[in-house]
């Protein structure tokens, strides 16, 4: 039986209002995470105004977690209501109104509370990005609520995420669950935990570059000649298998071509590439240790947030230091990737220039991390001084 017209019209009105509100919230959040946005994030308050207002106690991570959890639960209800008989507009309307009055504004408030002056630009951007993903996927699910009062079936219900006609409501619900889980995981890690995760990922990239350079340095011209002979012997077999595997091996073939195009260090080594490589690997290992030490001695000892009382003023200086440190820690692995390519090209001039940049950046990071957050010197300070001496050695 079709639902009453009045109930259906009321539901459609609330659906339109909810989609409009989500779109507004997306516009509010966008400047916090999108460098391409034409909007502008709110300007920082003057220092005098910050001092006059009461200290903010709310925890943006807790608010983001709770909002995402509620959105996931409400979305699950909507997903079930639109595929099961009887179709009940009043039930859907009730859930949408609960979203409007609770978790939706909570999500936006969480982004605004995650102020860059306290939590760093990097963390504010991450929180805003994850919240924007939740809003986008929730909007897409709500847009699938049938306006005619008939439950979804066929492709409108079951189509996969990659379907040409667009994903069905079940796939849309699954994607929304996933982004809610991502946001809740970020919130559980908290301020320090998310910075630790970032730096550990940067360190892992450095380790990968170091291992690749080691393997490349162990190759010789004899190895290349042996490979050429093996390739000649297998040519006939390859002609057959290449045609069979071409459909799914194109990407891998491109990667293999790139790797195989690398030149090995010549036996006579007129440009002293191997000498440069050994120096680079020795100091690159020191840089990976710097990342490891930074996590243990600095990031895991960050002050608790949100700040309260006398610690509130110090949180801004901590965030300012971190906003210098984190971009450098992110840039160093990229530079080392470029340095690896210079080695593969056997380009001594490029190698020397990039090595200077890499190790200068590492030295700068150690300088920025030298002092603890609330003092002048500690065990890491002594270690960083020794690091600076070693990183300068050729």
Is there a contact between 139 and 19 (Cβ–Cβ < 8 Å)? yes
pLDDT at 161: 77
- Please state which of the ranges 236-240, 257-261, 262-266 shows the lowest mean pLDDT: 236-240
Distances (CA, A) of 243 to 236, 240, 248, 253: 12, 6, 11, 12
Closest among 86, 71, 88 to 8, alpha carbons compared: 88
Residue 104 or 393, more confident: 104
- Check residue 231 and give its pLDDT: 52
Query: Does residue 30 carry a pLDDT above 70?
Result: yes
CB within 8 Å of 76: residues ≥ 6 apart: 173, 177
The confidence score (pLDDT) of residue 155 equals: 86
| DSSP code at position 86 | S
Residue 29: CB atoms within 10 Å? 25
Residue 347 has pLDDT above 90, yes or no: yes
B/e letters for 281-297, b = 16+ CB within 10 Å, e = fewer, are eebbebbbebbebbbeb
HSE at residue 239, side-chain half, CA atoms within 13 A, is: 4
Asked if 198 and 326 count as a contact pair (C-beta separation under 8 A), the reply is: yes
Q: State what percent of residues in the chain have pLDDT above 90.
A: 71
- Of the given ranges (104-108, 142-146, 195-199, 225-229), which has the lowest mean pLDDT? 225-229
Query: What pLDDT is attached to residue 223?
Result: 53
Q: Is 357 exposed, middle or buried (0-12, 13-18, 19+ CB in 10 A)?
A: middle
- What is the pLDDT, as a whole number, of residue 3? 73
pLDDT for residue 314: 59
């Amino acid at each position: 039986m079709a639902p009453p017209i009045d109930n259906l019209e009321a539901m459609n009105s609330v659906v339109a209002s909810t989609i409009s509100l989500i779109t507004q919230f997306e516009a509010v959040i966008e400047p916090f995470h999108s460098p391409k946005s034409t909007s502008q994030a709110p300007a920082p308050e003057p220092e005098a105004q910050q001092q006059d207002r009461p200290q903010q106690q709310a925890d943006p991570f807790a608010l983001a977690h709770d909002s995402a959890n509620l959105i996931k639960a409400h979305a699950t209800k909507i997903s079930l209501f639109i595929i099961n008989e009887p179709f009940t507009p009043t039930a859907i309307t009730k859930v949408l109104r609960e979203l409007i009055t609770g978790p939706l504004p909570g999500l936006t408030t969480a982004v605004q509370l995650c102020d860059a002056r306290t939590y760093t630009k990097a963390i504010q951007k991450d929180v805003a990005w994850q919240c924007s993903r939740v809003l986008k996927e929730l909007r897409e699910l709500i847009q699938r609520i049938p306006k005619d009062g008939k439950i979804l079936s066929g492709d409108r219900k079951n189509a996969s995420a990659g379907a040409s006609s667009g994903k069905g409501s079940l796939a849309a619900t699954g994607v929304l669950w996933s982004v809610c889980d991502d946001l809740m995981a970020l919130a559980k890690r908290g301020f320090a935990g998310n910075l630790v995760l970032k730096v550990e990922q940067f360190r892992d990239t450095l380790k990968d570059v170091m291992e690749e350079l080691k393997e490349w340095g162990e190759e010789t011209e004899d190895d290349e000649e042996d490979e050429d002979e093996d390739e000649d012997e297998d040519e006939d077999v390859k002609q057959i298998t290449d045609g069979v595997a071409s459909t799914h091996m194109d990407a891998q073939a491109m990667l293999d071509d790139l790797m195989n195009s690398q030149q090995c260090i010549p036996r006579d080594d007129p440009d002293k590439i191997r000498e440069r490589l050994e120096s680079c690997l020795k100091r690159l290992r020191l840089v990976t240790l710097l990342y490891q030490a930074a996590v243990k001695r600095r990031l895991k000892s960050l002050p608790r947030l949100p700040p309260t009382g006398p610690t509130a003023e110090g949180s801004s200086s901590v965030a300012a230091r971190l906003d210098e440190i984190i971009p450098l820690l992110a840039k160093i692995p990229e530079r080392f990737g470029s340095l690896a390519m210079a080695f593969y090209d056997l380009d001594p001039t490029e190698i020397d220039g990039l090595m200077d940049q890499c190790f200068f950046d590492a030295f700068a990071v150690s300088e920025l991390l030298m002092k603890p957050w609330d003092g002048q010197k500690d065990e890491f300070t002594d270690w960083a001084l020794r690091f600076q001496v070693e990183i300068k050695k050729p």
